[in-house]
Structure 1
Amino acid sequence: MIRYGQQHITAEDIEAVIEVMHSINLTQGPAIPRFEESVKYACDAQFAVAVNSATSALHISCLALGLGPGDYLWTSPNTFVASANCGLYCGASIDFVDIDPRTYNLCPKALEQKLVVAEREGTLPKIVVPVHFSGQPCDMRAIHALAQRYGFRIIEDASHAIGGRYLGQPIGNCRYSDISIFSFHPVKIVTTAEGGVAVTNDSVLAEKLGLLRSHGITREPHLMTRPMDGPWYYQQVALGFNYRMTDMQAALGASQMTRLHDYVQRRHELASRYDDAFQGWPLTIPWQHPDGFSAYHLYVIRLHLDEIRPTHRQVFEALRERDIMVNLHYIPVHTQPYYEAMGFQVGDFPEAEQYYRETISIPLHPVLTDAEQDEVIEVLREAMRV
């Protein structure tokens, strides 16, 4: 079986986890700041807050930016549901901005058009969540310029994108955003098994994120509302959550981060092999914007269905039947039943919907061998009958 994504675990990773298990700190110990430092260094950011998932990181980032009832959060329909759900967790209303037909990211032109209408109607977003789909960065300079004009805050959902670059700088440096989010799920670039990190250059936001990940409890005197009773003392100063990452996860993540460059480089090598193999095929390969350097979390193809006999579903199922475990990223969020119940419907975001009807994510991960990739290419050729 050849999976679309797969973690790579080394002996060094295992030893790092075992070392924690032999220690007295299985959670809230020194492995957490070590992992956070590795992410800060990779992103050239000032602060990093590790949590138990990227979803948790999105949630507390929204709270740290003051999102609540009566506010609006906008994001891309071409994303995992968490990019939108995080706003609902805060009691906010959700809307979407259609995608660019080449990058599959949130389209700045569509965003600007929607902002003009929202300003007139009094429904401007408090937060916009651009999603760096498949590892390719959004046009953050354009989105940031719109934020300056219309007054919204920006959370980059960079769950796919650690190790990527935008305008020559690491994704996650927060030059054009308030907070950036990374995922460390097993199919991502590096893994902590489950886990997420929020990075920021704002010390106040970092302090809020740290509070919110652990029940809103602090032992820091400067955050307390009254004097300490003694060395045992703590105060709950906010309504937080138990979103903590364990030291075992953090140790795995810190070990994995030492190979971040190698993992991204291998993904680029594999993507280049696909690009060469698919020349002349009735499909569209991932287009790469010259301003970005993708982390290549995914390699997505778009079938030219008017040029081939099999349907989208038939090609997908033919690959699965041969143990090529392809996937589809993503079903547009606004077409999910939960969101349809809010009033969204098919036809609202046509670019994302057309993309969904044509796309397949094929295997791409650092342990994929050239021989396995050749097998994927040959089975796809047979499935498409080209």
Structure 2
Amino acid sequence: MRPHTSTRTWVLAGIISIHLTVAAMSETVFDTRYQYYQEDNDRIRVDSDYSLYSIDLSDTVVLDGTLLYSVISGASPTGIPPDKRGGQVPLVHLEDERYAAAMGLTAQLGNHSLNAGVSYSYESDYLSLGASLQDTISLNEKNTELVLGIAYTRDTVGANGSNLSEAKRAYDWLVGINQVLGPNTLLNFNVGLGLKQGFLSDPYKRVLIDGDVYYEQRPGRKLEQIIFTQLTHYIEPLDASVEVSYRFGHNDHGIVSHTAMIAFYKYFFEKRLVLRPSFRFYDQSAADYYDLEFSGDPRYYSSDYRVSAEQTFNLGLQMRWNVTDRFAVDLGYERYISRGTDGRTSQSAYPDAHSITAGVHFTF
């Protein structure tokens, strides 16, 4: 099964987490967590065990990484529309396992925080290898940070039951700034550019062309642009922090997306207990080549609901209980609701889901 999260996401997320650890340059940290994700109506289920670690090799060098093992099972839409309007979309059962790892090394050199990262992800029909570089430059008496990053991934796409073996490459560039606006306020602003080339279709998704079934065909190149901004403010009278973010995305396949999120961190018992309720809204337009059925001889075509016009809503609540200065317990719950917005695609294609996360955090 194709992964829901690409290795390049691991790479970029890894270098960001590594940078935050280096900024503290204080302790060695180990987290281990379990996540249960289940879509409604017995759709996809994912059970994941993952660990995060950060090891101070010296006063200026940190090794940071993530290990992941997931078991994936359930049913996923084939892409074929239902027999009658408003009916249940056809589903296909799948099972797979995912092994993934990401590792980075960060060195503090003067006002530069340099990070090099690598990542790996494997499923029975998908292999992804990635690498990244990032430089975070402290300026203005450490009130300003300039972030420059680049990432590359090379994937091999297969399909169970066939001899398919196709290459896909992704290049990502990031320019960002982190600015302290006051003693309690931080602003983050990033601009990203991504280029994908190679086999970008899903080898399991099918379409109807003049009533006959074919595998989908997407363009072999995609250029993406991303703008992201986030404001974090600590509210002293409430002993709480609020985090508000917005992300704009666009690609030359015709998809325009908007993501807005708000999270509230409330501290109790001298910050021994932290509660984080959150809300996230996502909206996207359809790809130029998306439709329920096709006729004639189209160049590109897909009926995958993931490239249709849709909206998703996420409600979450996370908790961290700092039992001691060196041991903490994490619990979290999220509810996902998704809806098609084109008025044509069957709502049964869009999954609702919930996830539960539990873990422990050690500091040495």
- Give the TM-score normalised by the residue count of structure 1: 0.25
Larger RCO, structures 1/2 (Cα 8 Å, 6+ apart): 1
Which structure is higher in helix share? 1
Which structure is higher in strand share? 2
